[in-house]
Amino acid sequence: MSQAQEKHLKDYAKPAFTITHVDLNVILDGKNTKITTTSKVIRNGEHQHELVLDGEQISLGSVKLNGSSADYRQHDNQLFIATELNEFDLEVVSLLDPEANSSLEGLYMSDGAYCTQCEAEGFRRITYFLDRPDVLAIYTVRIEADKAAFPFLLSNGNLIDKGEMPRSGRHFVKWHDPFPKPSYLFALVAGDFDLLNDSFTTQSGREVKLQVFVDKGNLHKADHAMASLKKSMKWDETRFGLEYDLDIYMIVAVDFFNMGAMENKGLNVFNTKYVLADKASATDDDYHGIESVVGHEYFHNWTGNRVTCRDWFQLSLKEGLTVFRDQEFSSDVGSRAVNRIQAIRVMKNQQFAEDAEPMSHPIRPESVIEMNNFYTVTVYDKGAEVIRMMHTILGEEGFQAGMKCYFERHDGQAVTCDDFVNAMQDASGKDLTLFRRWYSQAGTPVVTVTDKYDADKGEYHLTVSQQVVSKGVKGQTLHIPFSLELLDNTGESIVNKVLDVTKACQTFVFDGLNHAPTASLLQDFSAPVKLVYDFSIDQLVHLMRHASSEVARWEASVQLISQTIWHNIAQLQQQQVMTVDSRVIEAFRGIILDVNLDQALVAEILSIPSASALIEQVDSVDLDALEKAREFVVEELASACEDELLARYRELSTLDAAGARAFKNIALSLLCQVSDVHESVVEKQYYNAQNMTDCLGALKAATSAQLTCLPALLSDFESKWHSTPLVMDKWLTLQALINTDDVIVQIKQLTKHNSFSFSNPNRVRSLIGAFASANTYQFHRADGEGYRYLTQILIKLNKSNPQVASRMITPLIQFAKFDASRQQLMKQCLQELKNLPDLSKDLYEKVTKSLAE
Ligand code: B3K
Ligand code: ZN
């Protein structure tokens, strides 16, 4: 692989030239698309270096400097231009074929519409350019295309001109974006859409035009996205004092998209999955996902666009912060506890796994081969946890003062994570020297807690020690905000505070206690660490009942059920009978019957940790024992509480609320694990469902219990929804997750189904991605068939869409916890990929790092 060059943060150097203004003239004409870029270039400092521009997969038409042919050469995706001038106009003509672009990066076609994706380095697939985030320019974009096929021509900023070219049937528009921006925020869309119009008046009284563009026939599914946008705009004004800056904000939903959405200035491009929704076709989770992604992209306007990243190593500057902001938004407008639980799940189930695998990196990576490989749960979600810890340490007021200082200092600039922490530190007066280490240290710290109660002195001693080892190297001590609650034996809260843990080992003493308290540790996951403490069943039951934080009550239940499963795995391994302690059953029953608990929270508590979540809790796993023990515990709990579950199921069925539906659907799944007699309840729910949540709830119950009605339900679903791709994705996922030995054969069949296509990332993720990441037992079959099947698919996608291939390889490189034979099978597959003659940079980076372990 000749082009696989590793870049290092320590090598960062300011660009030798900058570009202040860009004029693009885009002639959209299928295979003969032509783009003329005129840039105002300025030499940065005293030097005589050539101007070096990036360009990939485009043909170069011509290069002119101040109107005359330039002296240039091309080498390895770069264009070198020699000049002694310090300021000049550069005109570059590039020719491209968007129809042949299956990578969905740069300019491509989605279902007959032209669209772009430039982050991180896609702009260089549109034109030769200084394609790096610290080059900020003002863009003017002229777009010309056939009028009938492409009535809407969109780009960033404000529309300043438009006109017809009647003889050719073509038309043109001109957009101007007054805000200097890096090339990754450029966007262009041309197509025919249905359009939802609305407006928003900002706190200072400016009227902003809001537009959501969707595929023809989907207008009725755009309302929720629009409502979410208005809610986000309002929330950012109220909580952060941040107002929108342009006169127009557009969202375009496209079917072919590599990720969720993209925050291009004034023109967000979205995956249809995060825009389209109506009650019949979208679940409550889909509605929530749309609100949070619309919010996320909107919040980027300040955290990402107005203040952007100096280089790509700083990605968490905008992503960690914007995830934190979108989580806060969802928590302020919805249930804070449930949102926190979902974020903690992502951290524990996905981020901890990533931090323990070959691609493990700090939230600010130090070296990168393919930038697209670093849009990770570490940069995003651990990045958000790092911001959240600063919020915990500074408090809301101190944090907001820090934000204000950050914008005052850096509006309109491309900056670093250090600049952000400096603003937080300077505005609040808190010393964040030690805290900064979170940015440079990979791996999940392990925080071990021991305690003792001294009855004579009435003292409780809590000792907290921290250790982080990443890739065999011992890490530095971190500043860990450690949230603690102590409960007395009646359940009263006697201490509730955040401890500043700043040493390798620290003891905290609490006095005036007349008995040993029960400790709720690391409440609400106050730091992204693994907690080790030897909880007894009684302590966990006490916390489940009395902890003042709902999140802590959920945490206690996860711990209790997990411990029960691990206990039974040990029993199996020692050929002993499996059992579930009656206290665990009573605690579970107590949750089902507690009418004072929020129903959505109950649903979270009753969701038994998945196989993959359980695997994350240990260093090595006996998969067969895990499957048996988990199934046993689920059946024991469900059958002991069968009557209560059924009664609650019936009661909740009369309610029309998302929380009630979540609880009801978990109850139904549990009931189906007990006995087939509940099959009729499933069928009734499926056929009478008034919304997609209930419909899918029934199907999920039928799938996980493999009920005999399942084939009939799936075929009914197919006949109803065959022409709605996003709904068929759910149908594909259900079948990908069936835990039967012939599932791979079924999946292969499904890849031939009309609803499936290898060129659409949503379809591929719904079927093959879901299988590899969530059908744990079948993907990790002992015969290696799961690994080999994924590998075949990756070989195919390596050529057509390397980004999607690279995202889907994750379960294959997380081999460390499995037995030697499985590890060997996984590595054989990685070796096969490594030997591919045309291996993409994306897969090359992951495969070589994994095989080097
Ligand atoms: N910034 C984009 C992600 C770009 C991914 C490039 N491979 C969406 C987001 O985080 O908002
Ligand atoms: Zn983002």
The reply to whether ligand 1 has any atom less than 6 angstroms from the CB of 91 is: no
Q: Are 353 and 814 in contact (CB under 8 A)?
A: yes
Give mean pLDDT, residues 34-56: 97
The reply to whether ligand 1 has any atom less than 6 angstroms from the CB of 743 is: no
**For residue 166, is pLDDT > 50?**
yes
Range of the domain at 406: 315-440
Give mean pLDDT, residues 685-701: 98
Centroid of ligand 1 to alpha carbon of 804 (angstroms) = 13
Helix 550-573 with 537-546: angle, nearest 10 deg = 160
Q: Which residue has the tokens 């005109």?
A: 91
User: Is 791 part of any domain?
Assistant: no
Q: Choose one of 262, 270, 806 to mutate for the ligand 1 pocket test, by most ligand atoms within 8 angstroms of C-beta.
A: 262
**One domain for residues 43 and 172:** yes
The secondary structure element, H or E, covering residue 625 is: helix 623-640
Residue with CA at minimum distance from ligand 1 atom 7 = 372
CA 166 from chain centre, in angstroms, equals 46
User: Is 263 part of any domain?
Assistant: no
The reply to whether ligand 1 has any atom less than 6 angstroms from the CB of 315 is: no
Strand partners, 62: 93
Q: Which atom of ligand 1 is nearest to the CA of 380?
A: 10
User: Is 541 part of any domain?
Assistant: yes
Region at 95 (left for phi over 0; alpha for psi -120 to 50; beta for the rest): beta
CA 418 from chain centre, in angstroms, equals 24
Domain boundary among 638, 659, 674: 674
Q: Which atom of ligand 1 is nearest to the CA of 319?
A: 10
For the beta carbon of residue 473, count every other beta carbon within 10 angstroms.
10
Domain boundary among 147, 169, 192: 192
Centroid of ligand 1 to alpha carbon of 261 (angstroms) = 7
CATH number for the domain spanning 128: value is 2.60.40.1730
Ligand closest to Cα of 294 equals: 1
pLDDT tens digit string along 317-342? 999 999 999 999 999 999 999 999 99
pLDDT value at residue 3: 55
The reply to whether ligand 1 has any atom less than 6 angstroms from the CB of 294 is: no
The reply to whether ligand 1 has any atom less than 6 angstroms from the CB of 269 is: no
**One domain for residues 39 and 152:** yes
Domain boundary among 440, 461, 482: 440
Residue with CA at minimum distance from ligand 1 atom 2 = 262
**One domain for residues 591 and 475:** no
Q: Choose one of 319, 326, 327 to mutate for the ligand 1 pocket test, by most ligand atoms within 8 angstroms of C-beta.
A: 319
Cα 355 to Cα 234, 469, 470: the distances in Å are: 36, 11, 8
Q: Which atom of ligand 1 is nearest to the CA of 293?
A: 11
User: Is 427 part of any domain?
Assistant: yes
- Show the tokens assigned to 242: 């941040």
Q: Which residues are catalytic?
A: 297
The reply to whether ligand 1 has any atom less than 6 angstroms from the CB of 187 is: no
Residue 577 CB burial class (10 angstroms; 0-12, 13-18, ≥19)? exposed
pLDDT value at residue 358: 96
The proportion of the chain whose per-residue pLDDT surpasses 90, expressed as a percent, equals 99
The reply to whether ligand 1 has any atom less than 6 angstroms from the CB of 120 is: yes
Centroid of ligand 1 to alpha carbon of 105 (angstroms) = 12
Residue with CA at minimum distance from ligand 1 atom 4 = 119
The pTM of this model reads 0.99
The reply to whether ligand 1 has any atom less than 6 angstroms from the CB of 319 is: yes
Rounded Cα–Cα distance for residues 131 and 119 (Å): 10
Centroid of ligand 2 to alpha carbon of 20 (angstroms) = 25
Centroid of ligand 1 to alpha carbon of 260 (angstroms) = 8
User: Is 365 part of any domain?
Assistant: yes
**For residue 637, is pLDDT > 90?**
yes
Q: Which atom of ligand 1 is nearest to the CA of 261?
A: 8
Ligand closest to Cα of 375 equals: 1
Q: What is the DSSP letter of 129?
A: B
Q: Which residue has the tokens 């996980």?
A: 704
The reply to whether ligand 1 has any atom less than 6 angstroms from the CB of 310 is: no
Q: What is the DSSP letter of 380?
A: I
Q: Tell me which amino acid residue 118 is.
A: C
Rounded Cα–Cα distance for residues 213 and 222 (Å): 8
Q: What is the dihedral of CA 565, 571, 577, 580, to 10 degrees?
A: -30
**One domain for residues 556 and 465:** no
Rounded Cα–Cα distance for residues 66 and 63 (Å): 10
pLDDT tens digit string along 347-365? 999 999 999 999 999 999 9
Strands 267-271 and 261-262: antiparallel
Q: Are 382 and 374 in contact (CB under 8 A)?
A: no
User: Is 284 part of any domain?
Assistant: no
Q: Are 144 and 174 in contact (CB under 8 A)?
A: no
Q: Which atom of ligand 1 is nearest to the CA of 371?
A: 7
Q: Which atom of ligand 1 is nearest to the CA of 297?
A: 11
**One domain for residues 172 and 320:** no
**One domain for residues 524 and 657:** no
Give mean pLDDT, residues 729-741: 98
User: Is 612 part of any domain?
Assistant: yes
Residue with CA at minimum distance from ligand 1 atom 6 = 119
Mean pLDDT over each residue of the chain, to the nearest integer:
98
Residue with CA at minimum distance from ligand 1 atom 10 = 319
The secondary structure element, H or E, covering residue 58 is: none
Q: Which atom of ligand 1 is nearest to the CA of 300?
A: 11
Ligand closest to Cα of 122 equals: 1
Q: Which atom of ligand 1 is nearest to the CA of 372?
A: 7
Residue with CA at minimum distance from ligand 1 atom 1 = 262
Q: What is the DSSP letter of 347?
A: I
Largest CA distance in the chain: 97
The reply to whether ligand 1 has any atom less than 6 angstroms from the CB of 153 is: no
**For residue 615, is pLDDT > 60?**
yes
The reply to whether ligand 1 has any atom less than 6 angstroms from the CB of 297 is: yes
Beta strands per DSSP E along 425-571? 446-454, 459-467, 469-470, 473-474, 480-487, 493-501, 505-510, 518-521, 530-532
Confidence at 167, pLDDT banded by 50, 70, 90? very high
**One domain for residues 66 and 113:** yes
pLDDT value at residue 471: 84
Q: Which residue has the tokens 């996902």?
A: 289
CATH number for the domain spanning 658: value is 1.25.50.10
- Nearest CA to 43 out of 90, 105, 96, 85 is that of 85
Confidence at 472, pLDDT banded by 50, 70, 90? confident
**One domain for residues 60 and 123:** yes
Give mean pLDDT, residues 643-653: 98
User: Is 363 part of any domain?
Assistant: yes
**One domain for residues 51 and 160:** yes
**One domain for residues 557 and 502:** no
Cis peptide before 113 (omega within 30 of 0): no
Strand partners, 92: 37, 63
Give mean pLDDT, residues 706-715: 98
pLDDT tens digit string along 97-108? 999 999 999 999
pLDDT value at residue 4: 80
**For residue 2, is pLDDT > 50?**
no
Centroid of ligand 2 to alpha carbon of 482 (angstroms) = 28
pLDDT value at residue 853: 83
Centroid of ligand 1 to alpha carbon of 119 (angstroms) = 7
The reply to whether ligand 1 has any atom less than 6 angstroms from the CB of 259 is: yes
- Show the tokens assigned to 346: 């992502």
Q: What is the dihedral of CA 360, 365, 366, 371, to 10 degrees?
A: 100
Strands 267-271 and 308-309: unpaired
CATH number for the domain spanning 330: value is 1.10.390.10
Strands 530-532 and 446-454: parallel
**For residue 723, is pLDDT > 60?**
yes
Give mean pLDDT, residues 758-773: 98
How many structural domains is the chain composed of?
4
**For residue 1, is pLDDT > 60?**
no
**One domain for residues 568 and 649:** yes
Centroid of ligand 1 to alpha carbon of 265 (angstroms) = 13
**One domain for residues 478 and 541:** no
